[in-house]
Amino acid sequence: MFMLINCSNCRTPLQLPPGARSIRCAICQAVTQIADPRAVNPPPATHHWPPPGPPSSASPSPYNHAPPGPPPNPHGRKKAVIVGISYRYSRHELKGCLNDAKCMRYLLINKFQFPESSILMLTEEETDPYRIPTKYNMRMALYWLVQGCQPGDSLLFHYSGHGSRQRNYNGDEIDGYDETLCPLDFETQGMIVDDEINATIVRPLPHGVKLHAIIDACHSGTVLDLSFLCRMNRSGQYSWEDHRPRSGIMKGTSGGEAISFSGCDDDQTSADTSALSKITSTGAMTFCFIQAIERGHGRTYGSILTAMRAAIREAGGSGGDLGGGVVTSLLTMLVTGGSGIGGGFRQEPQLTACQPFDVYAKPFSL
């Protein structure tokens, strides 16, 4: 398990490998010595990225301040990190992920009143080098998302891209595998493992803060390592499956609430497809999530999940001609596109949470 410390020179958050007694900062090259790694605490929320430095002609970093202006509502701030990765010009290229990111941003601003200034977009289309979805930038974006969060805040993390899994060795996974997200540079820098995602955006959540994750990727069912998975059958009956590690490793929040919708179960794949829209390619899960909201199924978590699953089953069985409705009107804004996988894909969106609840009674809100 990684721990977070601050560089002794420039205060950049660093991840300390298990058992390490020192670490070199990749920014200023200073070496920080650790007397007892077990005594290390996460860095205070007041530290910002990147550290102060000489003026640069590059665009200002999105991580060096909280969203400007007053809170959007009296109950707290809204902040979001949206990641869409197409892996263009590679053998891993996806067609719909940039569309997913743009549609999610549109939904958050126009349906859920997220201020534009509080939404951090990481895609290959960004010109700011800090907003390219590399592993380093994705890590820093996740730090930024929870940085300084206060009771009443609503946080959202949306990811559309490749996901994978790898053998687990610390005993905290029921199926023996860690789920992962694949940054743009994953082939050289490696993947982001669910343990790190949990440590970065789940465990720090204080009481009164709410986090939603919408993860459109393969093998994404438990990619936040949340403690409970909603196991639902096709008739809508469900029970909560306990995924708390038998090893006793802490995976919960610090009193806050974390809920995740994901594209498929841990052993399934998620489609990047044109089957759901005749306009352009999208991630099947993102499309069906937005469609559920726009068609009035967003009252509860259960109504969203059942609507998403029904739409994907219908698309898989009928060749995908759902008709986009309001969602199609969102997609017409986009100039990118391309052909994707045809109909017939098989995936079941999943719901996980830090605590079980009545999915048909708990209101959904961002």
The predicted-structure confidence for 62-86, as pLDDT tens digits, reads as follows: 444 334 434 344 457 999 999 999 9
Lowest mean pLDDT among 216-220, 273-277, 287-291, 332-336: 332-336
218 is catalytic: yes
Domain coordinates of the chain in residue numbers?
1-41, 77-271+348-353
* 92: pLDDT strictly greater than 50: yes
Region 194-216: mean pLDDT is 94
The predicted-structure confidence for 239-259, as pLDDT tens digits, reads as follows: 999 988 877 778 899 999 999
Burial state string for 182-217 with b = 16 or more CB within 10 A and e = fewer than 16: bbbbbeeeebbbbbbbbbbbbbbbeeebbbbbbbbb
Region 212-217: mean pLDDT is 94
The predicted-structure confidence for 33-47, as pLDDT tens digits, reads as follows: 877 545 444 444 333
Describe the crossing of helices 301-318 and 284-294 by its angle, rounded to 10 degrees: 120
Which is the catalytic residue, given 7, 10, 97, 218? 218
- Output the pTM of the full model: 0.73
What pLDDT is recorded for position 240? 96
Query: What band does 329 get if pLDDT is binned at 50, 70 and 90?
Result: very low
Q: Which CATH architecture has domain 77-271+348-353?
A: 3-Layer(aba) Sandwich (3.40)
Query: What band does 264 get if pLDDT is binned at 50, 70 and 90?
Result: confident
Give the span between the Cα atoms of 4 and 248, in whole angstroms.
20
What pLDDT is recorded for position 334? 30
Give the residue from 112, 116, 118 showing the smallest Cα distance to 144: 118
What pLDDT is recorded for position 173? 59
Which is the catalytic residue, given 48, 158, 162, 219? 162
The predicted-structure confidence for 148-187, as pLDDT tens digits, reads as follows: 999 999 999 999 999 888 666 665 656 667 889 999 999 9
